[in-house]
Structure 1
Amino acid sequence: MDKFSIGVFDSGFGGLTVFKSIVQKLPQYDYIYLGDNARSPYGDHSFETVYQYTLECVEWLFDKGCPLVILACNTASAKALRNIQQLDLPKKYPNHRVLGVIRPTAEVIGDFTYTQNVGVMGTRGTVNSNSYPIEINHFSPEVKVYQQACPMWVPIIENGEHLNDGADFFVKAYIQELLQQSDDIDCILLACTHYPLLIPKIEQYLPKDIKLLSQGDIVANSLADYLKRHHEIEAYLGKTETREFYTSGDVVSFNNHASIFLGEEIAAKKMNNK
């Protein structure tokens, strides 16, 4: 019987932080990671463009033998996931599943705040979609959500400047803009999978009594629970601990950046046509 892989998709490198947490939690499975680096970042693209790009990459992973794909990208989860789940899967891929990173986070964020006031820092696309306030309201209607777009953070990280002095201005500025919205924020979610690389800088400018959440472990725990509840998918997943990496962009550049996000060297392949 054929065995299949879990697909993990991101517009670029950031999803590797989620991928790393998933593999640490569920090391037994086979995985294929795809970064659409040739067209990243997705944060400032329209809903229609993000949907088109994301669907193309999801279908590519389906063709590579991934019945389950994780959108390890907040922008894709905000702008494309609902359409893919409601329009494309029922018509064309009824036995495939696509999951995002927003819902798992929204389900649990209420457990991390005492004041019921949380901050969300993300790309313009994620913030403008209002996906987090909407989803958090479903699970924790008492929680107030304050959002802050951080358009410079991804470029800083992808250019390898995230730990240098030049990053301080934008880290400090966005944190101050968020905290000016409310004195009661006691929990901040990093709603972009790139942002964990900035945590050492963020912690320098964040009051000590404010919790900082990243999504990797939350998504990994949610996936583990999903697989327990969906044996019809889990039973077909390969368990040989195979990891494959693909990029639509330059392979050498991807490998160099990926080592920063993963903490290990990889050998990615060029994404080929279907």
Structure 2
Amino acid sequence: MPGKTPIGIFDSGIGGLTVFRSIAEQLPAYDYIYLGDNSRAPYGNRSFNTIHQYTWECVQWLFQQGCPLIILACNTASAKALRTIQQKDMQGLDPSKRVLGVIRPTAEVIGKYSKTKEIGVLGTVGTVKSESYLIEIQKFFPELKVYQQACPLWVPLVESGEYEKPGSDYFIQEYLGELMAQSTNIDTILLACTHYPLLQDKIKAHLPQHVNVIAQGDIVAKSLVDYLQRHPELEQQLSKTGTREFYTTTDDTADFDHHASRFFSAPVKSSFVSVTEFSCK
């Protein structure tokens, strides 16, 4: 994208497109590059060091494409790589560059959805083990009780396209049952993985009607709008011709496009980028 300075959006797969869709709806004039690291997904069960390495490689690639601002539209990467990237890896780089995650914007508002002050968090093994949501929510809503549940099979179900089949209901019901068994007072459930919104209807079908199910897309998009208003020096760097480019690290771009179009609620045409093009310095 010569001469353009797009917003970069990264996810380990296609889940981040749910966040990208919301961002593009609220900020349609901007240019965007989306990168899905599908060939190495899912990230959720990988080690801290591996998640950090993969995420930093992808962030550097997006910087090389001219992105001064990158959104980690991945809870696992936000939980296990963002802080190290911000505090260590970016030292010595252009100080105007920014990398933001999805956990803090969500933690800032999630308590407003609950009347009982007890919420559940559904996420990958990596996100849950990091306890990032427990830490961040405590800062803004110390009165909240937060219960976590890892759902290790949900991302593979979504990435493979199996989530719509009847067999997926078993695994959805299983993890929800384990979460709700922790407290009968949970009235709000956060989908702390950007893949999970495609399961939202099935999730709701296995929960009492009074339980709110909260996806992150609109929350993150509104937070980004506010962030750009508060940082005009960064906002003015961003090009605005309304272009959107999609890249995936899987060479099966047709399969990516098929599934991604459902996430993005619009046709997606992606290009392949090999992980051998990434460098982790």
For the superposition of Structure 1 and Structure 2, which TM-score range results when normalised by the shorter chain? over 0.9
Task: Describe the superposition over 1:234-255 as per-residue Cα deviations: whole angstroms up to 9, x where unpaired.
Answer: 0011111000001111222211
Off by >2 Å, runs of 4+ in structure 1: 90-93
Residue type matched to 1:8 in 2? I
Q: Distance in 1 between matches of 2:92 and 2:75?
A: 25
- Count residues in correspondence: 274
Q: What stretches of structure 2 of length at least 5 have no aligned partner? A: none
- TM-score if structure 1 supplies the norm length? 0.97
Shift of 1:262: 1.2
Q: How does 1:248-259 map onto structure 2 within 5 Å?
A: 248-250=249-251, 251-259=253-261
Q: How does 1:14-33 map onto structure 2 within 5 Å?
A: 14-33=15-34
Task: Describe the superposition over 1:64-122 as per-residue Cα deviations: whole angstroms up to 9, x where unpaired.
Answer: 00000000000000000000010122322422100000000000011111111110000
Match of residue 269 from structure 2: 267
Q: How does 1:148-159 map onto structure 2 within 5 Å?
A: 148-159=149-160
Instruction: Say whether the 8 Å CA contact 2:39–2:250 is kept in structure 1.
Output: yes
Q: Distance in 1 between matches of 2:148 and 2:79?
A: 14
More moved, 138-147 vs 253-262: 253-262
Q: Distance in 2 between matches of 1:31 and 1:57?
A: 15
Match of residue 66 from structure 2: 65
> Over aligned residues, Cα RMSD in angstroms?
1.2
Shift of 1:154: 0.9
Q: How does 1:90-239 map onto structure 2 within 5 Å?
A: 90-239=91-240
Q: Distance in 2 between matches of 1:241 and 1:205?
A: 39
Instruction: Say whether the 8 Å CA contact 2:30–2:240 is kept in structure 1.
Output: yes
Residue type matched to 1:236 in 2? Q
Residue type matched to 1:253 in 2? D
Residue type matched to 1:260 in 2? R
Residue type matched to 2:159 in 1? E
Overall identity of the aligned pairs, in %: 60
Q: Secondary structure at the match of 1:119?
A: strand
Residue type matched to 1:30 in 2? D
Q: Distance in 2 between matches of 1:39 and 1:207?
A: 36
Q: Distance in 2 between matches of 1:252 and 1:88?
A: 34
Q: Distance in 1 between matches of 2:235 and 2:91?
A: 20
Q: Secondary structure at the match of 2:91?
A: helix
Match of residue 41 from structure 2: 40
Q: Secondary structure at the match of 1:269?
A: strand
Instruction: Say whether the 8 Å CA contact 2:13–2:159 is kept in structure 1.
Output: no
Q: Secondary structure at the match of 1:147?
A: strand
Instruction: Say whether the 8 Å CA contact 1:30–1:237 is kept in structure 2.
Output: yes
Q: Secondary structure at the match of 1:90?
A: coil
- TM-score if structure 2 supplies the norm length? 0.95
Residue type matched to 1:62 in 2? F
Q: Distance in 2 between matches of 1:155 and 1:49?
A: 18
Instruction: Say whether the 8 Å CA contact 1:11–1:35 is kept in structure 2.
Output: yes
Match of residue 7 from structure 1: 8
Instruction: Say whether the 8 Å CA contact 2:37–2:249 is kept in structure 1.
Output: yes
Residue type matched to 1:44 in 2? N
Shift of 1:3: 4.1
More moved, 100-109 vs 251-260: 251-260
Q: Secondary structure at the match of 1:27?
A: coil
Instruction: Say whether the 8 Å CA contact 1:3–1:236 is kept in structure 2.
Output: no
Instruction: Say whether the 8 Å CA contact 1:72–1:101 is kept in structure 2.
Output: yes
More moved, 30-39 vs 2-11: 2-11
